[in-house]
């Protein structure tokens, strides 16, 4: 996967995608697999904005039962199965436990019925050959068993618990990168750090975009028959480049998930009732409260999601200390045994989601429920389509619908989509457990530790040997990290230290990896990309700023054992 800007100027593409998050990535792959020529540009790094803020849960749509929205349930269940099929190294079943209280909507009887309906609606969920990906039937448990699994929860009115399974992403940033790898393999031209600064317009048709390479400040045009705007919260900025063009009627919510230094629960993702309201005007039944999900993730807990209305420029987005404190207070109130302290929050994932309104009673944002595909020819502008996604799980499905619509515009029948059955980059694995064990046996004999092999397989899947092509000393853990960095630079368009720390590897997405790791990674990148000492220090400080660490690391203090 190479960043070839010259290639971007040498042809007229069928499709140009603006935005390299999960929706742009799945769309680029889908269109390329269907035989269209595709270009994709992203103004920062791939998947660096909202797509990086994920609760890491691939939802099967159980919560849609309160709306009797079986169509969305089926879509979500299908896409959950699809992602486990095409990305078996990254998507794995996740058991979820919800305590039951009383005998009403939160009671064991109501949840038992809900689980039975969910099992019926998802009756075909286990057609995957890999049994590691099978989703068991839901079940209810006794009060005693629930207290054994969730010590310290409120016992007032507790009647038991409900257990069901969803799925979880081990590394959502690598999932986005893997979709882009697959798009590139299918012929797409991709480039990060290329910002769209204008739309090329002739009369009432968009014929491409004007862009600036943020690494060199060079400007050029990219021509395309259709431009697709998948910029999320930045979507209206793109539309603002066209005079009198209709803007999206969406607001924006600030979304936040916290990662803790210690796991609150070891085995289950747990739904704890929060006292915050979750009034849903479309719901047939309304619980009057919402769940905080506390999920075990990479030896820690991921807790989310907290939402707040956001009305500022998306470029100015940030999570404040006040936001974190407020969310921690809600968590400690919902589950007092957590006793979370600020120093136990190892990382904060923040992003922006589309909203349709604000709850007049609580002031909370009402999230958009349905994706939107808008052809701007309806307002007199040809060649421009905007896509607003609302759910990480169904991004591939939306991409398929967009491509079907493109062929309809061309007056052609859409090719049969293969994106739901064709493995993404790294996903060529028939049986994940067997694949992992075989990798451990084979590579341990060559000096790698089991921990390193597991990490490589969970992140890169069947493509992990491509990382090891850059390995110089298999007995050194630092050498494996160096191999990941070199692979990221030469095969995955990593140009900044943050690209490596947060999105090409798992080093920083769960918490600060430590001064030694940051120094080592910076030194490897500096040597490979010929950074100046000033550039190196700037890159290091940007990482430390992300974690709220202000004191600088002096590059010359890097231990000698980190050098080649």
Exposed / middle / buried, residue 463 (Cβ in 10 Å: 0-12, 13-18, 19+):
buried
Helical H segments across 186-260, by residue range: 235-239
Identify the CATH assignment for 5-50+173-246+371-409 out of 1.20.120.160, 3.20.20.70, 3.30.470.10, 3.50.50.60: 3.50.50.60
Token pair of 537 as six digits:
């220090």
Q: CA-to-CA distance for 347 and 557, rounded, in angstroms?
A: 26
Helices (H) and strands (E) counted in the chain, each on its own, are 16, 18
Q: How many CB atoms lie within 10 A of CB 285?
A: 13
What is the arithmetic mean of pLDDT over 340-366?
Answer: 92
Interatomic CA distance for residues 307 and 490, integer angstroms: 38
Residues 6+ away with beta carbon under 8 Å from 119: 137, 138
Tally of residues, the chain: 564
- Mean pLDDT throughout 464-478? 91
**pLDDT single digits (tens) 145-179:** 999 999 888 899 999 999 999 999 999 999 999 99
Q: Are 94 and 269 in contact (CB under 8 A)?
A: yes
- Give the 3-state secondary structure of residue 532: coil
Q: Is the CB of residue 236 less than 8 Å from the CB of residue 315?
A: no
Q: Please tell me the predicted confidence (pLDDT) of residue 513.
A: 96
Q: Which residue has the tokens 């990490």?
A: 455
In eight-state DSSP terms, residue 209 is: E
Which DSSP letter does residue 382 get?
Answer: B
Domain ranges of the chain: 5-50+173-246+371-409, 92-165+251-367, 432-562
β pairing state of 300-310 and 290-297: antiparallel
Percent of the chain with pLDDT over 70: 94
Instruction: Find tokens 């992992």 and name the residue.
Output: 436
Confidence of residue 279 (pLDDT cuts 50, 70, 90): very low
Residue with tokens 């209305």: 309
C-alpha distances out from residue 451 to 33, 76, 101, 131, Å: 35, 33, 41, 23
pLDDT tens-digit map of 96-149: 999 999 988 888 999 999 999 999 999 999 999 999 999 999 999 999 999 999
pTM beyond 0.75, yes or no: yes
What CATH code would you report for 432-562?
Answer: 1.10.8
Q: What is the secondary structure of 63-94 as a DSSP string?
A: GGGGGT-HHHHHHHHHHHHHHHHH-TTTEEEE
Alpha-carbon gap, residue 82 to 320, rounded angstroms: 36
Q: Closest Cα to residue 199, out of 216, 166, 222, 219? A: 222
* 19 phi-psi bin (left φ>0, alpha ψ -120 to 50, beta other): left
Main-chain phi, psi angles of 41, to 5 degrees: -125, 145
Q: Is the pLDDT of residue 231 over 70?
A: yes
Q: What is the mean pLDDT of the chain?
A: 92
Torsion, CA 188, CA 194, CA 196, CA 199, rounded to 10: -50
Return the SS3 of 231.
Answer: coil
Buried b (16+ CB within 10 A) or exposed e, 393-407: bbbbbbbbebbeebb
The predicted structure's pLDDT at residue 544: 94
Q: What does the pLDDT look like over 14-63, one tens digit per residue?
A: 999 999 999 999 999 999 999 999 999 999 999 999 888 889 999 998 98
For residue 477, give the 3-state DSSP assignment.
helix
Helix H or strand E encompassing 372: strand 372-375
Cα–Cα distance for residue pair 483/473, rounded to 1 Å? 10
What's the CA dihedral at 442, 448, 454, 460 to 10 degrees? -80
- C-alpha torsion sign, points 337, 343, 347, 348: positive
Confidence of residue 557 (pLDDT cuts 50, 70, 90): very low
pLDDT given at position 552: 53
Closest CA to 32 of 181, 235, 165, 154: 181
Contact at 8 Å (CB) between 497 and 522? yes
> Is residue 43 within 8 Å of residue 252, measured between CB atoms?
no
Gap between the Cα atoms of 63 and 297, Å rounded: 22
pLDDT digits (tens, 9 = 90+) for 15-24: 999 999 999 9
Q: In which element (H, E) is residue 260 found?
A: strand 251-260
Q: Does domain 92-165+251-367 have CATH number 3.30.9.10?
A: yes
């Amino acid at each position: 996967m190479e960043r070839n800007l010259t290639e971007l100027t040498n042809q007229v593409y069928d499709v140009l995608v603006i935005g390299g998050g999960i929706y742009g990535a799945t769309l680029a792959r889908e269109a390329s697999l269907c035989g269209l020529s595709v270009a994709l540009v992203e103004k920062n790094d791939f998947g660096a904005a909202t797509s990086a803020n994920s609760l890491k849960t691939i939802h099967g749509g159980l919560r849609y039962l309160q709306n009797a929205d079986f169509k969305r349930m089926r879509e979500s269940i299908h896409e959950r199965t699809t992602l486990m099929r095409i990305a078996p190294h990254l998507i794995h079943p996740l058991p979820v436990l919800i305590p039951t209280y009383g005998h009403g909507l939160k009671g064991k009887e109501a949840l038992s019925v809900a689980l039975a309906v969910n099992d019926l609606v998802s009756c075909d969920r286990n057609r995957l050959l890999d049994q590691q990906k099978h989703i068991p039937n839901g079940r209810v448990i006794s009060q005693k068993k629930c207290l054994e699994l969730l010590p310290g929860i409120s016992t007032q009115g507790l009647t038991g618990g409900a257990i069901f399974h969803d799925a979880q992403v081990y590394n959502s940033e690598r999932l986005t990168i893997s979709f882009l790898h697959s798009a590139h393999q299918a012929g797409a031209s991709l480039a990060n750090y290329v910002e769209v600064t204008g739309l090329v317009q002739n009369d009432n048709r968009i014929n491409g975009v004007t862009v600036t390479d943020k690494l060199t400040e060079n400007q050029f045009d990219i021509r395309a028959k259709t431009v697709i705007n998948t910029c999320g919260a930045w979507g209206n900025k793109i539309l603002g480049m066209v005079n009198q063009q209709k803007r999206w009627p969406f607001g924006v919510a600030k979304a936040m998930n916290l990662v803790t230094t210690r796991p609150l629960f070891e085995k289950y993702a747990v739904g704890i009732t929060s006292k915050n309201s979750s009034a849903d005007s479309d719901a047939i039944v309304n619980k009057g409260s919402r769940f905080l999900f506390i999920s075990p993730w990479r030896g820690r807990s991921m807790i989310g999601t907290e939402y707040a209305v956001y009305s500022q420029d998306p470029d100015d987005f940030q999570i404040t200390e006040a936001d974190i404190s407020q969310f921690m207070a809600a968590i400690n109130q919902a589950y007092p045994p957590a006793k979370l302290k600020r120093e136990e929050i190892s990382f904060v994932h923040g992003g922006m989601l589309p909203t349709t309104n604000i709850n007049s009673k609580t002031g909370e944002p009402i999230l958009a429920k349905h994706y939107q595909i808008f052809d701007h020819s309806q307002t007199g502008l040809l060649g421009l389509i905007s896509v607003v996604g609302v759910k990480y799980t169904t991004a591939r499905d939306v991409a398929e619908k967009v491509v079907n619509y493109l062929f309809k515009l061309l007056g052609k029948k859409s090719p049969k989509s293969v994106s739901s059955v064709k493995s993404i980059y790294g996903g060529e694995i028939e049986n994940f457990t067997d694949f992992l064990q075989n990798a451990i046996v084979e590579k341990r004999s060559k000096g790698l530790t089991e921990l390193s092999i597991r990490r490589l397989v969970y992140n890169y899947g069947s493509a992990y040997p491509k990382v090891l092509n850059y390995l110089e000393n298999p007995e050194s853990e630092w050498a494996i990290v160096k191999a990941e960095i070199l692979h990221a630079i030469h095969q995955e368009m990593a140009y900044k230290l943050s690209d490596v720390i947060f999105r090409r590897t798992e080093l920083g997405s769960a918490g600060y990896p430590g001064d030694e790791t940051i120094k080592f990674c910076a030194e490897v990148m500096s040597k490979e990309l010929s950074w100046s000492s000033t550039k190196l220090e700037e890159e290091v400080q940007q990482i430390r700023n992300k974690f709220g660490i202000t004191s600088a690391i002096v590059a010359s203090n890097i231990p000698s054992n980190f050098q080649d």
